[in-house]
Chains A and B, each alone.
Chain A
Amino acid sequence: MRNTDEKEETSVYRRVVLKNSSPYHYMRVCLVVDDQRIRPSVVELKNFIITGLRTLHGQAGAAINFDVLKYEEDSLTAILRIYSRGLVKLWSSLTLISSYENHNCAFRVNQVSPYLLALTGNSRDLQLD
Chain B
Amino acid sequence: DATQHRSEELTQTPRHLLVCERSSFQDEKNRLSTQVEMLHFNYKVSVLLPECSSAPSQLDSVLNSFTSFYLIKNLPVHELLDQHFLQTAVFQGCVYALSYRTRIDEDNCVALMPNGRLLLSLDKDSFELLGFEGKPSRFNHRVKSRFVVSVDLTSSCMAPGGSGYLRLVSGLKSRLNLQMDFLLLHHPGGGASLQSLLSRYASSEHRPTISQCRLSDLSCPVLESCDPSDAHSLLEWLGAVDADISWDSSCDFVSTLVCPEPKMTLSSALRVSVCGFLTPQDIQRLISELRCYLEQSRLGSWVSLTVHGFVDSPVSWGANEHGVLKGGENLYTLLMHHDGTYHLHLATGAYDSCPP
A residues at B contact (CB < 8 Å): 8, 10, 12-26, 42-43, 46, 65, 67-71, 79, 81, 84-89, 111-124, 126, 128-129
B256 touches A123 (CB 8 A): no
How many residue-residue contacts, CB under 8 A, span A and B?
A: 172
A16 touches B10 (CB 8 A): no
Q: Would you call B71 an interface residue if the criterion is a C-beta within 8 Å of the partner chain's C-beta atoms?
A: yes
B11 touches A85 (CB 8 A): yes
Q: Determine the chain B residues whose CB is within 8 A of the CB of A79 once the complex forms.
A: 243, 245
Most buried by A among B13, B29, B30: B13
Q: Determine the chain A residues whose CB is within 8 A of the CB of B253 once the complex forms.
A: 43, 46
Q: Which of B11, B244, B306, B311 contacts A117 (CB 8 A)?
A: B306
B residues at A contact (CB < 8 Å): 9-13, 15-24, 27, 29-30, 43-44, 46, 71, 100, 103, 204, 206, 228, 231-232, 235-236, 238-240, 242-246, 251, 253-257, 275-276, 306, 308-312, 326-327, 329, 331, 333, 341, 347, 349, 354
Rounded to whole angstroms, the CA-CA distance of A15 and B30 in the bound complex is 12
A67 touches B13 (CB 8 A): no
* Min CB–CB distance A16 → chain B (angstroms): 4
Rounded to whole angstroms, the CA-CA distance of A114 and B18 in the bound complex is 10
User: Chain B interface mostly helix, strand, loop or mixed?
Assistant: mixed
Rounded to whole angstroms, the CA-CA distance of A19 and B20 in the bound complex is 11
Q: Answer whether A18 and B257 are a contact pair too, CB < 8 Å, given A117-B238, A117-B242, A120-B243.
A: no
Q: Which of A71, A87, A89, A117 contacts B239 (CB 8 A)?
A: A117
* Min CB–CB distance A60 → chain B (angstroms): 10
Q: Which of B9, B20, B204, B327 contacts A18 (CB 8 A)?
A: B20
Q: Which of B256, B310, B333 contacts A65 (CB 8 A)?
A: B256
* Min CB–CB distance A129 → chain B (angstroms): 7
Rounded to whole angstroms, the CA-CA distance of A112 and B311 in the bound complex is 13
Q: Which of B19, B21, B327 contacts A112 (CB 8 A)?
A: B327
Q: Which of B10, B206, B255 contacts A67 (CB 8 A)?
A: B255
Q: Which of A15, A20, A121 contacts B43 (CB 8 A)?
A: A121
Q: Determine the chain B residues whose CB is within 8 A of the CB of A129 once the complex forms.
A: 71, 204
Q: Determine the chain B residues whose CB is within 8 A of the CB of A16 once the complex forms.
A: 19-21, 228
B254 touches A46 (CB 8 A): yes
Q: Determine the chain A residues whose CB is within 8 A of the CB of B312 once the complex forms.
A: 123-124
Rounded to whole angstroms, the CA-CA distance of A56 and B46 in the bound complex is 39
Q: Determine the chain B residues whose CB is within 8 A of the CB of A19 once the complex forms.
A: 15-17
* Min CB–CB distance B181 → chain A (angstroms): 9
* Min CB–CB distance A25 → chain B (angstroms): 6
Q: Determine the chain A residues whose CB is within 8 A of the CB of B21 once the complex forms.
A: 13-16
* Min CB–CB distance A102 → chain B (angstroms): 24
